Amino acid sequence: MDVLRFATLSVTGFAACAEFGSYTFVHPVIRRLARDHHVTVEKGLLRTFGRVMPVLMTLCVVLSFVHAARAVHVNALHWLSAVAFTLALASTLIFNVPINRATDRWDPANPPENWKEVRNKWEFFQGLRAWLLLIGFVLQCAAVSI
């Protein structure tokens, strides 16, 4: 058994599924909540996803690059997967993390006037991250399968 390949597929698959599932199934429901409930749920998600995903997303980058560098039959898909994971992490650090920090300080009963615009910006970059993670995982699977 190739432990590195198994770890790479397991971690990248879990991270991609968690983020894409959140993007496609959880956040559309949250967007329809009343303002105070919306902010309360977002703050709660910061305490769950916010603790796990930084580790997993970083591992996706590290594992995908290490796997590409050590693969016996390396192909462009290995490297494209690593790039997709890197772009997802970079986008998260540049756009989502600052918004997450701001959201964590909000009072759900009295968020800033532009709270919805800020959350909409976060949603856009959440979508970008989710798609990049999913694409990275699919490319990783294809690279391993070829």
pLDDT digits (tens, 9 = 90+) for 98-126: 999 999 999 999 999 999 999 999 999 99
Q: To the nearest whole percent, how much of the chain has pLDDT over 70?
A: 100
31-32-37-42 Cα dihedral, nearest 10 degrees: -20
Q: What is the predicted pLDDT for the residue at 71? A: 82
Residue 42's closest CA among 118, 93, 130?
Answer: 118
pLDDT band for position 45 (cuts 50, 70, 90): very high
Q: What is the predicted pLDDT for the residue at 117? A: 98
Residue 1 pLDDT greater than 90, yes or no? no
Axis-axis angle for helices 115-145, 3-21 (nearest 10): 150
Q: What is the predicted pLDDT for the residue at 116? A: 97
Q: List the Cα angle 125/29/87 in 5-degree steps.
A: 15
Residue 72 pLDDT greater than 90, yes or no? no
In the chain, alpha helices (H): 3-21, 27-30, 35-70, 76-91, 97-105, 115-145
Residue 73 pLDDT greater than 90, yes or no? no
Residue 74 pLDDT greater than 80, yes or no? no
Q: Environment class of residue 108 by beta-carbon count within 10 Å: exposed (0-12), middle (13-18) or buried (19+)?
A: middle
- What does the domain layout of the chain look like in residue ranges? 3-145
- pTM for the model stands at 0.95
